[in-house]
Amino acid sequence: MANEVILLDFWPSMFGMRTRIALREKGVEFEYREEDLRNKSPLLLQMNPIHKKIPVLIHNGKPVCESSIQVQYIDEVWSHKNPILPSDPYQRAQARFWVDFIDKKMYDAQRKVWATKGEEQEASKKEFIELLKTLESELGDKPYFGGDDFGYVDIGLIGFYTWFGAYEKFGNFSIESECPKLIGWAKRCLQRESVAKSLPESEKVTEFVSELRKKFVVE
């Protein structure tokens, strides 16, 4: 029986990007469906009744929710090529730790960089740069977070790179000058076909954030 794979997603979502990348890494054919988050489809509400969020992966009619869980699922179902998680239990635990760190810390921290101004924004910028430096320190001199091979943590983080232009514009700072190695890593990831095909243009994301910012910040 052929696999039917549908991805309910929203184009600027750094979480949706993870799942797109994972599917492409494995060469899985899938149907991408754009959701309007102000008018969620009945299918989204039915497939993710608990959180009502994207991305939702629907595999042969059965939903998998939460991006990091989806990436792990994709790795386990299509286990024949391009392993995403390492095989060693300790290395796996390290990879999970860092994606958990990204999940717990990055989203809220980055949001405050573009959705605030003044003193609150200054404090948010500092916090955000600290997070990026922690990640950069973990990357070290390795080409990817997983070492020589592109993997779980790289997939977990790369989507945020498309939002860097927005952070820099509204935060008025340069991420490259603070974290040059991280930028080098991001550019390396973008050379990968699965990533290049899954990430929107940075300028489009910045435009999107610009509209969004108007709702939160009165200039």
Residues that bind another protein in the complex, under the rule CB under 8 A: 50, 59, 62, 64-66, 69-70, 72-73, 76-77, 89-90, 92-93, 96-97, 100-101, 134
Residue closer to another protein (CB basis): 100 or 176: 100
Residue closer to another protein (CB basis): 22 or 166: 22
Query: CB of residue 89 vs another protein: minimum separation in angstroms?
Result: 4
Do 83 and 150 meet the contact criterion of CB atoms below 8 Å apart? no
Q: Kindly list the distances between the CA atom of residue 112 and the CA atoms of 10, 13, 126, 138, 216, in Å, as whole numbers in the listed order.
A: 21, 16, 11, 23, 10
Residue closer to another protein (CB basis): 65 or 209: 65
Q: How far apart are the first and last CA of the chain?
A: 56
Dist. CA 43–CA 30, nearest whole Å: 16
Query: CB of residue 66 vs another protein: minimum separation in angstroms?
Result: 6
Query: CB of residue 104 vs another protein: minimum separation in angstroms?
Result: 9
Dist. CA 120–CA 112, nearest whole Å: 8
Residue type, 48: N
Residue closer to another protein (CB basis): 39 or 87: 87
Q: Kindly list the distances between the CA atom of residue 143 and the CA atoms of 157, 178, 181, in Å, as whole numbers in the listed order.
A: 14, 18, 9
Residue closer to another protein (CB basis): 85 or 199: 85
Q: Kindly list the distances between the CA atom of residue 35 and the CA atoms of 5, 8, 9, 24, 190, in Å, as whole numbers in the listed order.
A: 16, 6, 6, 20, 25
Query: CB of residue 43 vs another protein: minimum separation in angstroms?
Result: 18
Query: CB of residue 60 vs another protein: minimum separation in angstroms?
Result: 9
Dist. CA 140–CA 132, nearest whole Å: 12
